[in-house]
Chains A and B, each alone.
Chain A
């Protein structure tokens, strides 16, 4: 992999964090709570997953802890159009 690719990946990663939000696939969720337990700022991610809503909390850092820790692949990043001036 070239250096250019490394920087490109890094940029893509940051763009995803800055312009994405976490969305659940509620049908996969069993409410175990690992997501909420690992959220560094204590968002009730599990509650969003129950309701099938994207994490709209303005406090969400999009750090990805919940996405990475969920043992059932319930959570993923989805693009918002915030980078184009839109809303969640």
Chain B
């Protein structure tokens, strides 16, 4: 029996741990094309701001891997041959598997404008990208960031921390319009401006200009042009489905899997950003590009590969991030529609966040402390907590559990209601019942 895992991210690692919890003896081989193996990809944002050194991004030392007894093969899987139960790595001799996990993640959607292949046009997928960004970032020089979601602001933060002048281009009227509401977008944009970031709305990039083979500026659809030394983009991500497509696995936006993380081939499993997983509660198949679900999916897939029968039940997707320096937690469903700055979803993102059914928003707060709740018929569907984070953990638990809020629903919906106090009080009593 041999388990093979393609991909060295958190989903793959978690699968190794799960397999080893049930099977101490059979071989596990992890094949990854990232030369740096397993590191904290979300941590790259903090590497860009110098909050952590690149060597600090590796959570596992050699001993950890040895104790898991996983063999790591660095290489690119170019083909899966499902009938033969084999992989082709770097076009060399085939590697056989009995159970296979595809956890290859996603990659940035490429900019499709003239000049996009210049060296100073960067993205933030991997550690190598972050290193390239730091190599090119120079104090006093100008960077332009194009795109939306969390990654775009991580790039802005990184350039600001390096003392660069930053222009941020938005195609629409406001930042992250299908997750944040108008006031939240304005809060973020206001903070960015205070940090010296120049925001350009309705700015459609059509060309990257070069001078002596280097980026020198950009041209916009409306005829404006801006000078810059570096251009970074974060216009969305795409699950890396090519291997699965060639192997004739079922694909939609990602590789389709049932709640056991199994594809339409019973010996091939999938987890993480590349997986579009059936959610028995909503009846939909959803992609999350989040660390937590990737870890949980990897673990469930690993258990199932080792012979268990463990369904992955998606909890309310949530992420904690810093948007323009403001700690923000996003839980459950809070927005809807399409954001002009992103194609599909972004990193640190969930399709669920923008699939809001009928719900009533109630909100309180101003400037840097803000709380917005999406109130459903008898439960909370989602929340966004900006600034003070005291309520973010309680809300995560309340929303994930689908707690019955009938008792406080009317109070929450009254105009000007002190919703933070109401939730804090509800949490105290609900937690006591929930824990018992």
Task: Chain A residues near B41: list those with CB within 8 A.
Answer: 30
Per-residue interface assignment for chain A, residues 25 to 58, with 1 indicating a CB less than 8 Å from any chain B CB and 0 otherwise: 1011011111011000000001100100000000
Task: Tell me if B292 is interfacial: C-beta within 8 Å of chain A.
Answer: yes
Total number of residue pairs linking A and B with CB closer than 8 Å? 56
Chain B residues within CB distance 8 Å of chain A: 10, 40-43, 46, 51-53, 56-59, 291-292, 318, 320-322, 327, 329, 389, 392-393, 396
Q: Are A73 and B51 in contact (CB under 8 A)?
A: no
CB<8 Å pairs between A and B, sample of 5: A28-B320, A30-B41, A31-B291, A37-B53, A37-B56
What are the 9 closest A-B residue pairs judged by CB atoms, nearest first? A32-B43, A30-B42, A72-B320, A33-B56, A31-B59, A31-B40, A37-B56, A30-B291, A32-B40
Q: Are B320 and A33 in contact (CB under 8 A)?
A: no
Q: A31-B43, A33-B43 are in contact. Are A71 and B327 (CB under 8 A)?
A: yes
CB distance from B29 to the nearest CB of A (A): 23
Other A-B pairs beyond A25-B393, A30-B41, 19, CB < 8 Å: A27-B292, A28-B292, A28-B320, A30-B40, A30-B42, A31-B40, A31-B59, A31-B291, A33-B40, A33-B59, A34-B51, A37-B52, A37-B53, A37-B56, A47-B59, A50-B59, A71-B46, A71-B322, A71-B327
Task: Chain B residues near A72: list those with CB within 8 A.
Answer: 320-321, 327
Query: What's the Cα separation between A25 and B329 when bound, in Å?
Result: 14
Task: Chain A residues near B42: list those with CB within 8 A.
Answer: 30-32
Per-residue interface assignment for chain A, residues 61 to 76, with 1 indicating a CB less than 8 Å from any chain B CB and 0 otherwise: 0000000010111000
Task: Chain B residues near A30: list those with CB within 8 A.
Answer: 40-43, 291
Q: A47-B59, A71-B327 are in contact. Are A32 and B46 (CB under 8 A)?
A: yes
Query: What's the Cα separation between A27 and B329 when bound, in Å?
Result: 12
CB distance from B399 to the nearest CB of A (A): 13
CB distance from B92 to the nearest CB of A (A): 32
Task: Name the CB-closest residue of A to B393.
Answer: A25
Task: Chain A residues near B396: list those with CB within 8 A.
Answer: 27
Task: Chain B residues near A69: list those with CB within 8 A.
Answer: 51
Task: Chain B residues near A31: list those with CB within 8 A.
Answer: 10, 40, 42-43, 59, 291
Q: Which of A1-38 contact B (CB under 8 A)?
A: 25, 27-28, 30-34, 36-37
Query: What's the Cα separation between A72 and B42 when bound, in Å?
Result: 11
Task: Chain A residues near B327: list those with CB within 8 A.
Answer: 71-73
CB distance from A10 to the nearest CB of B (A): 22
Task: Chain B residues near A25: list those with CB within 8 A.
Answer: 393
Q: Are A46 and B52 in contact (CB under 8 A)?
A: no
Q: Are B389 and A73 in contact (CB under 8 A)?
A: yes
Query: What's the Cα separation between A31 and B59 when bound, in Å?
Result: 6
CB distance from B301 to the nearest CB of A (A): 18
